[in-house]
Amino acid sequence: MATQLEQLSEKFRKEHLTRNSYDSKNLYNSNNRNAQSDGDEKGKGELDGQVGSLTDVHTRTELLARNRFNSGNLYGLGSPDAVSDGDERGKGENNGQIGSLSDINKRTELIASNKFGEKKRYPDF
């Protein structure tokens, strides 16, 4: 005989299953229409090279149109926008410098105002 907990859980399971539109005749898996990116808002899985819902696809298209980087202008370690070369974009190390122009200027300012350094060390408690 089922315990009271088992009886309640079976009741709740049946209630929740009635709200679920997927069942043994309409399984939800990678082949289900609602799982595929076919131009509606439900599907997120890849279909014919598209990934995501209709909103995802439109947003990605809009963002890519504003992006300066593409197959002809790749972003990588050698890109001027990745290297600290005195502008505001580059952050990667370049000849001992790290960070954008603002980062370098702020670091220089903070080091100059620091009371401690090579000659006057932090106290060792």
Determine whether 43 is exposed, middle or buried from the number of CB atoms within 10 Å of its CB (0-12, 13-18, 19+): buried
Q: Based on the fold, state whether residues 84 and 63 are members of the same structural domain.
A: no
Strand intervals (E) in the chain: none
The predicted structure's pLDDT at residue 123: 85
Q: Based on the fold, state whether residues 61 and 28 are members of the same structural domain.
A: yes
Q: Assess if residue 3 is contained within a domain.
A: no
Q: How many structural domains comprise the chain?
A: 2
Distance CA 93, CA 84 (A): 6
Q: Assess if residue 73 is contained within a domain.
A: no
Give CA 79 to chain center in angstroms: 22
Q: CA dist 76 to 9, 33, 83, Å?
A: 54, 38, 9
Q: Assess if residue 124 is contained within a domain.
A: no
Q: Assess if residue 72 is contained within a domain.
A: no
Q: Assess if residue 45 is contained within a domain.
A: yes
The predicted structure's pLDDT at residue 49: 86
pLDDT tens-digit profile of 94-107? 888 899 999 999 99
Q: What is the mean pLDDT of residues 93-120?
A: 89
Q: Assess if residue 111 is contained within a domain.
A: yes
Distance CA 47, CA 75 (A): 28
DSSP character for 59?
A: H
Q: Based on the fold, state whether residues 31 and 61 are members of the same structural domain.
A: yes
Q: Assess if residue 9 is contained within a domain.
A: no
Q: Based on the fold, state whether residues 25 and 61 are members of the same structural domain.
A: yes
105: containing domain: 80-115
Predicted confidence (pLDDT) at residue 55 exceeds the cutoff of 90: yes
Identify any residues that bridge with 96 across adjacent strands, giving them in sequence order: none
Q: Assess if residue 74 is contained within a domain.
A: no
Distance CA 64, CA 70 (A): 8
Q: What is the mean pLDDT of residues 10-34?
A: 85
Q: Based on the fold, state whether residues 37 and 60 are members of the same structural domain.
A: yes
